[in-house]
């Protein structure tokens, strides 16, 4: 195929075709990223930071148009796309303010006259990004990587070619020099060669476990550093003393925001027996009341899934779970009519061994598992291959915090929905990947921590 095709998931109709970059284009982009490197790396960090402030302004100036592009290409609600763009702008400002400080030399007392760690850019970093937060996922890697003095090549998901193009445009409009951020409209078949290319020094992937294994293997083969932010199956533990009004409201948000297509969505609701029935009942009623429809409309709670194959996969997981004994309280099937809509679903009595427990469900499906007590809840939460996030809901904060520390994941929250925040590191353990994004640790992933010793 010579084109990347954007399809509107709300209608199933083709929006536009974008030419794929040919081999000569890829070669020019790679060379452009190398040519831009030296001058970019030599710029003082505060000058690169100043461009981030301009980037925030460009994003805010174009947020309506950019949001509509995302909604049309991947189906997220327009209001959520607007919020995503604001989050990108805030992250630009965060790194503009704090990033230069993260890059300061760190003196270390030794017998040398001077010894310290200097953070130097690696060169060019390849970003392989997904469609679910088509701006944020790319931004949260591109901002620290470029601020550290690297140049960046973006291979975005094939179903959001308009967002990918817009990303390159906003960097250019903000005044980033040519070659610092380049979009490569190519398919995933191009990724292994890009990683192997000597002009690329590292790769960051956000996406599925399958893609993670492929990118991690290619990076290992080429001896390149990598960050993998993969799927999750976050536990949302509800203890008997939690306030049900709050918990049901936040469970709804934690699972169904972004059409349920979020790596850190609450996916497994692990509830103490004594309140499980009340929780399941109230959550099911709230889910039945969700308004599914046109993601452009402000009154819509849930839009379509991003692609038809993703909806098929989700339905298959629901069907396999029900066949294995889960009880479908509401939803459980694709919605008829145009577009890739799926009825918001609650599965009850989900247990280990069922698809909704063992696999990542990427869509509007909440799985409820009953636990005898708090200790059993933690044990169930950790009985997952994934380890991205998790949350504990209880009136006893200290107990919640102790449980949060026992969760095998990269980010554990007490009485709050798991989210990424530029001020805090983000990433997973187990099959959710490795490496960290955001905060100071995020900027350290694609730098050479160079020891300098002056005798
Ligand atoms: P993918 O992992 O396939 O796509 C993510 C990115 O990786 C895209 O840019 C894709 O390119 C690229 N990619 C895919 N396969 C390879 C490969 N073998 N080598 C190199 N790059 C590759 O996700 P899908 O869109 O297919 O979604 C499938 C599932 O992945 C979801 O149901 C969900 O479980 C999970 N997912 C998790 C996300 C997260 O935030 N952690 C985000 C998105 C998906 P291309 O689009 O051209 O194939």
Token readout for 274 is 């004594």
Decide if 229 contacts 127 (C-beta within 8 A): no
Q: Which residue from 144, 135, 138 is spatially nearest to 96, judged by alpha carbons?
A: 144
Q: Whose CA is nearest to atom 21 of ligand 1?
A: 188
Among 313, 392, 311, 391, residue whose Cα is nearest residue 359: 313
Report the DSSP beta bridge partners of residue 125.
152, 202
Which residue out of 208, 209, 362 has the highest number of ligand 1 atoms within 8 Å of its CB and is therefore the one to mutate?
Answer: 208
Would you state the structure tokens that stand for residue 177, as one six-digit string?
Answer: 């020099």
Q: How many A from CA of 104 to the centre of ligand 1? A: 35
Nearest CA to ligand 1 atom 29: 208
The 447-454 sheet, strands edge to edge: 106-107, 114-121, 447-454
* Domain range summary for the chain, segments of one domain joined by +: 3-230+432-454, 234-422
What is the DSSP track for 305-339? -S-HHHHHHHHHHHHHHHHTT-EEEE--SBPSSSS
**Ligand 1 contact via 157 beta carbon (within 6 Å):** yes
- Whole-number Å distance, alpha carbon 239 to ligand 1 midpoint, is 34
Tens of pLDDT, residue by residue, the chain (455 residues): 689 999 999 999 999 999 999 999 999 999 999 999 999 999 999 999 999 999 999 999 999 999 999 999 999 999 999 999 999 999 999 999 999 999 999 999 999 999 999 999 999 999 999 999 999 999 999 999 999 999 999 999 999 999 999 999 999 999 999 999 999 999 999 999 999 999 999 999 999 999 999 999 999 999 999 999 999 999 999 999 999 999 999 999 999 999 999 999 999 999 999 999 999 999 999 999 999 999 999 999 999 999 999 999 999 999 999 999 999 999 999 999 999 999 999 999 999 999 999 999 999 999 999 999 999 999 999 999 999 999 999 999 999 999 999 999 999 999 999 999 999 999 999 999 999 999 999 999 999 999 999 99
Distance CA 24, CA 269 (A): 50
* 443 vs 88: CA distance, rounded Å: 16
What angle (nearest 5°) sits at the alpha carbon of residue 287, between those of residues 283 and 288? Answer: 120
Whole-angstrom distance, CA of residue 74 vs CA of residue 6: 9
Angle between helix 63-74 and helix 78-102 axes, rounded to 10 deg: 120
| CATH classification (class only), 3-230+432-454 | alpha beta
Give which of 129, 146, 1, 145 is closest to 70, Cα–Cα.
129
In short, whether 263's Cβ falls inside 6 Å of ligand 1 is yes
114 CB neighbour count, 10 Å cutoff: 12
Establish whether residue 126 lines the binding site of ligand 1, counting it when its CB lies within 6 angstroms of any ligand atom: no
* Phi-psi sector, 20: left (phi>0), alpha (psi -120 to 50), beta: beta
Is ligand 1 within 6 A of the CB of residue 95? no
Q: Please give the pLDDT value at position 447.
A: 98
* C-alpha to C-alpha distance for 411 and 389, rounded to whole angstroms: 5
Is 187 touching ligand 1 by the criterion CB < 6 Å? yes
Q: Phi and psi dihedrals of 173, rounded to 5?
A: -65, -30
Tokens of 11: 């209608």
Residues 289 and 256: their CA atoms lie apart, in Å, by: 12
Which residues have a Cβ under 8 Å from the Cβ of 378 and sit 6 or more positions away? 237, 403, 406, 407
Cβ–Cβ < 8 Å for 341, 334: yes
Superfamily of 234-422 according to CATH: Aldehyde Dehydrogenase; Chain A, domain 2 (3.40.309.10)
Is the C-beta atom of 308 inside 6 A of ligand 1?
no
- DSSP secondary structure, 35-88, as one string: HHHHHHHHS-HHHHHHHHHHHHHHHHHTHHHHHHHHHHHH---HHHHHHHHHHH
Give Cα separations from 232 to 25, 147, 229, 381 (angstroms).
35, 28, 9, 12
Closest atom of ligand 1 relative to the 232 alpha carbon: 41
Report CA 173 to chain centroid distance, whole Å.
25
Closest ligand 1 atom number to CA of residue 159:
46
Catalytic annotation on 263?
Answer: yes
Find out whether the beta carbon of 188 lies less than 6 Å from any atom of ligand 1: yes
**Ligand 1 atom closest to 230 (CA):** 41
What pLDDT, on a 0 to 100 scale, did the predictor assign at position 1?
63
Residue 2's pLDDT is 83
Closest ligand 1 atom to 187 CA: 47
The residues with which 151 forms a beta bridge, in sequence order, are 124
Eight-class DSSP state of 212:
H
Residues 6+ apart with CB under 8 A from 40: 48, 146, 149, 151, 177, 179, 180
Is residue 437 flagged as an active site residue? no
Phi, psi of 224 (to 5 degrees): -115, 150
Q: Which residue has its alpha carbon closest to ligand 1 atom 25?
A: 130
Q: Which of 163, 263, 328, 409 is catalytic?
A: 263
Residue 425: CB within 6 Å of ligand 1?
Answer: no
- With the most atoms of ligand 1 within 8 angstroms of its CB, the residue from 157, 316, 389 to mutate is 157
């Amino acid at each position: 195929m010579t084109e990347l095709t954007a399809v509107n998931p709300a209608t199933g109709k083709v929006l536009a075709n974008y030419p794929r970059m040919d081999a000569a284009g890829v070669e020019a982009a790679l060379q452009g990223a190398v040519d831009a490197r030296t001058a970019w790396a030599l710029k003082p960090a505060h000058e690169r930071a100043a461009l981030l402030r301009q980037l925030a302004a460009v994003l805010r100036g174009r947020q309506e148009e950019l949001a509509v592009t995302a909604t049309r290409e991947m189906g997220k609600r327009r209001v959520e796309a607007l919020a995503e763009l604001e989050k990108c702008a805030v992250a630009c400002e965060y790194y503009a303010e704090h990033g230069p400080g993260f890059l300061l030399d760190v003196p270390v007392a030794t017998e040398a006259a001077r010894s310290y760690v200097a953070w130097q850019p690696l060169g060019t970093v390849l970003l392989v990004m997904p469609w679910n937060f088509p701006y944020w996922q790319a931004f949260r890697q591109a901002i620290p990587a470029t601020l550290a003095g690297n140049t960046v090549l973006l291979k975005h998901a094939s179903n959001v070619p308009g967002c990918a193009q817009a990303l390159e445009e906003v960097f250019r409009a903000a005044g980033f020099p040519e070659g610092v951020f380049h979009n490569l409209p190519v398919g995933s078949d191009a990724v292994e060669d890009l990683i192997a290319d000597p002009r690329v020094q590292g790769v960051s992937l956000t996406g599925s476990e399958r893609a993670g294994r492929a990118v991690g293997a290619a990076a290992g083969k080429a001896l390149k550093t990598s960050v993998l932010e993969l799927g999750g199956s976050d536990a949302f533990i509800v203890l008997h003393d939690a306030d049900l009004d709050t918990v049901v409201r936040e469970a709804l948000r934690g699972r169904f925001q972004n059409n349920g297509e979020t790596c850190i969505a609450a996916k497994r609701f692990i509830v103490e027996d004594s309140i499980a029935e009340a929780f399941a009942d109230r959550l099911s009623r709230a889910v039945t009341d969700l308004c599914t429809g046109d993601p452009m409309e402000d009154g819509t709670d849930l839009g379509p899934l991003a692609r038809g194959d993703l909806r098929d996969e989700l339905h298959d997981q629901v069907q396999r779970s029900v066949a294995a004994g889960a009880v479908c309280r509401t939803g459980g099937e694709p919605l008829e009519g145009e577009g890739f809509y799926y009825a918001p679903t609650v599965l009850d009595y989900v247990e280990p061994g069922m698809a909704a427990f063992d696999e990542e469900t990427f869509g509007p499906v909440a799985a409820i598992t009953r636990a005898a007590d708090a200790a059993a809840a933690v044990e169930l939460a950790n009985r997952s291959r994934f380890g991205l996030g998790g949350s504990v809901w209880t009136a006893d904060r200290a107990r919640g915090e102790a449980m949060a520390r026992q969760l095998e994941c990269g980010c554990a929250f007490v009485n709050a929905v798991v989210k990424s925040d530029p001020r805090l590191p983000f990433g997973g353990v187990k099959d959710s990947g490795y490496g960290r994004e955001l905060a100071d640790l995020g900027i350290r992933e694609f730098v050479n921590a160079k020891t300098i010793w002056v005798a």
